Amino acid sequence: MFLINFPSNSLTLSVILLWFLLDSKCDGDRVRVINLNRNWTLSNENGTITKSGVTIPSGVYSQLYGEKVLDSYNDVDLRWISYDNWTYTYSFSVKTEDFKSICFVNLTLHGIDTVAEVRLNGDWLGRPDNMFVRYSYDITKILKDDNILEIEIKSPVYEALSRARELQRQGIEIPPNCPPSQYHGECHMNMLRKMQASFGWDWGLAAPSMGIWKSVTLEYYDVAIIRDVDVTLKKNSTHWTMQSRVFIDCNDQKDFYAELTFYAVELLKNPVIISKHVETPVSYKAPIITFFIHVPIGAVTLWWPNGYGDQKLYPLHYSLKAWSNPKGPTLRDNVISEKSIRIGFRTIELIEDPVKEGTGNTFFFKINGKEIFMKGSNYIPNHILPEYSRDSNRLKHLLQSAKDTHQNMIRVWGGGIYESDEFYDIADQNGLLIWHDMMFACAMYPVQEQFLASVRLEISQNIKRIAHHPSIAILATNNENEVALVQSWYGTSFEDERFRKEYRKLYLATVMHELKIVEHSSRPIALVSSPSNGKASANDNYISDNPQDPDYGDVHFYEVFKDAWDPSVYPRPRFSSEYGFQGLPQMASWLKTAAPHDKLISLIEHRQHHPVGIPVMTNLIRRHLPLPLPEDPPYLEALVYFSQIAQAMATKVETELYRSLRDTEHRTMGALYWQLNDVWIAPSWSSIDFYGNYKLLHYWSQDFLAPISIIALYDRNSKAINVSLVCDEFKVDTNDLKVTLNIYKWTQLLPTNSTTWPVTLKPNGVHYDKIIPISEIITGEFTPKNCVVEFVLRRGTAFLSHTFYFPGPIKESLAVKNPEITLEISHRYCSSSVYVKTNSYSLTVSTKYPALFVYIELLRSDISKYKLSCNGFMQVTPVQAIHLEFEANNCINLTRHDIKLTTVNQYLKRRKI
């Protein structure tokens, strides 16, 4: 009988009782997996700090201080944690005579962050050194009645330094050695296979995490256990061919016998039994069982990306019976192992064909035979401490927020982590395709055999775990390392030939080789880097002179010194997989993260990791908006507010440009802005701050990513407005469509001049409607300083989309009046669920004159996250209805004093024309 010493409480008793009900003896027929996740002890190396009752997943930072590392200057003040060594200790008891002669016992560590020594009863088991790898140890012969498991976590900072120095003693430098000083980071991140961002990034703090960030389990089985299942789907004219590959871990270097039962309750009437290995054993060298099932096309509902159809998922269940005796298993053998997944039926192609006009190749995705423009964002880890990265509420909020703004693709960036199973499940459910980097970013890396062996295991384990998800669209081996090498970002030109050789050894010979495990004709071939020239990179042996050639593959684009509101500054690429501009989180978020004695402007400057500093934002703001001087009292609040406007407008312009280029010779077919989320409150490119609140960028993206959008962009060369109508829908009603051009003077509501004309929409494409010279719009009584232009798309009287064009810098506008804006709470409603209460409010915003970028803030400190139906809007009508919603532990009675309204008007001097 197996016993574990748990704390004495009702939950523990329930777990123990359940264990007995499931039959705790080792002579059952099922593989047993026991979580060892409760009642650990954590202590530092010299024993001055000890904490008991620790629950796994755990990290040292979070165990000692929770999330306080995110507050004030704790990114520096708590750094001492990462300079120490820490040991997790776990005591448990078993009755060895009940299983020792017949049962294999495996200790599996699903995630250790990062370098550790593992000991059981004083015996050394191993040295994990890759946080992305699952480590398993046979403990059958060293297990005792009473056991002590120790996992000693080494300081990641000193381990990285030690490895760098060892290579330096051999005359080998692996740059970059250290991040820019503005990061307040740690050095040699590239020496360790851990989340690269944990040593500091331009958007995030350095919190060199350490701990047990995934479960620790005991596994009892005689021969084998299912680890992962990969399913590929190929379609012909009548059937889908579903190939399943069941990946198995076995406990010995001996072939074994197996029988697999496959259940697909929504696809097949009866289970399918794969019995070929009952007589022909499975090879322990490649323990995989492969089989095919054919499903009639008419029997399935297709899975579609968000906005194009349903996300139907089909449950599949695999039950493996494995044994070693040719005569078959006995009733006492632990032989049955099980795995359940869900799949979606869809085809996906990455089309890279020579373009008909000009030079280069296309670069776009076809889903279920349809060309689809990929629109979305880049996803970074949702927490700097990986043990928190599996938080269901945060995952659901972020991915639902992406779905709600019409995104159909997110990019999992290569400086983070391979996400949890739940992350990919939620992406599947929400129709969010995933461009997935492997976890290498912005650095050169070692290529010594020990490092490469760890990488092979990392890629193999993770890709087998995630490949079956319908959301997985394309893989890339790294983020920006090809372009970094070619452009010598880290001074590699002094040994260029060496670094090119090492680059190919790591990504081509190692990572790409392991990715072949899930390679299939139904899946796009992995990209060697992002950005890259796609398949054309092969002509250059995957290191191109210009990996950002706009005529091939994907590009990343950042230009901080030009006017980001001007479409002419942007490239015309096939696919833009990274671009963006910085903005500040709302003031309430800053107040929540700051200590009472902190000066906010100093904290903002401390957390601004961009080498250019705060001017990276203020330079653009001052081009267009009336930002006060730093010594003026309203400067800080204005900086926060204007930074969000500047960020939203820059990203809107760039995204709209890419969408409008779809059916031109540029054939742009993807726009993924940087970035969706954040790891703390700081100046960053995110559209959602760490607490889950939307910046103006995210509110605006509901419109500029909408399936039907009107785009009006200024062309500097022709001095004209290009009006385009984008339609992502496969079928669209083109009757009674019209565009109205409204010109509003700052001195009055409702348009001073309007012009309407009939238009059409091109299904799943762009209709290029008009090129209107500015001289035909801004004429007569209108000047660039006294008006704003609106373009509205309607079907009959129904509003479909609108956009604004500012003919001159907003800061130079004349005759802008005090809008005399007011807000009333017109309706409130509170609904209850099991855990929270949803508070809903209807707000009515009224104004007497045009109000520029109306910004609504909730001032209640007890409400950390809320959502508005729109924000940062231009109000050129007397009344605007807004919906406000938030969750709380109780029903909250908001008053008008709890809500703040801000407009650009209040910062403009009242100047006459």
Q: How far apart are CA 579 and CA 686, in angstroms?
A: 11
Nearby residues of 911 by Cβ (< 8 Å), 6 or more positions away: 814, 815, 816
Count of residues making up the chain: 913
Q: List C-alpha distances in Å: 465 to 430, 508, 713, 873.
A: 19, 21, 44, 43
Is-contact 230 242, C-beta < 8 A? no
Neighbours of 717 (CB within 10 A): 6
Contacts with 779 (C-beta within 8 Å, 6 or more apart), sequence order? none
Distance CA 128, CA 130 (A): 6
SS3 per residue for 153-193: ECCHHHHHHHHHHHHHHCCCCCCCCCCCHHHCCCCCHHHCE
Q: Under 8 Å CB-to-CB from 464, ≥6 apart: which residues?
A: 227, 228, 230, 247, 517, 518
Among residues 578, 656, 790, 857, the one annotated as catalytic is 578
Q: Which two tokens stand for residue 474?
A: 């394309």
Q: CA-CA distance, 320 to 338, in Å (whole number)?
A: 6
Bridge partners of 436, per DSSP, are 412, 475
Query: Could you identify the residue written with the tokens 């289970």?
Result: 271
User: Which residues, 6 or more positions from 753, have their beta carbon under 8 angstroms from its beta carbon?
Assistant: 742, 743, 782
> Radius of gyration (Cα) for the chain, nearest Å?
29
For residue 367, the SS3 value is strand
Quote the CA–CA distance of 163 and 192 in Å, as a whole number: 9
Q: Which of 159, 259, 480, 654 is catalytic?
A: 480
Tell me if residue 259 is catalytic: no
Token pair listed for 304: 């579609």
H-helix or E-strand spanning residue 706: none
CA 249, CA 137: separation in Å to the nearest integer?
12
Among 677, 910, 730, 720, CA closest to 815: 910
Q: Is 357 a catalytic residue?
A: no
Residues 6+ apart with CB under 8 A from 533: 540, 544, 546, 547, 549, 552, 553
Sheet (strand 670-673) strand order: 472-476, 433-437, 409-412, 374-379, 670-673, 576-579, 555-557
The answer to whether 183 and 609 are in contact (CB under 8 A) is: yes
Q: Which residues in 283-369 belong to E strands, given as ranges?
A: 288-296, 314-323, 336-343, 348-351, 364-367
Helix (H, G, I), strand (E, B) or coil at 63: helix
Mind telling me the catalytic residues? 480, 578
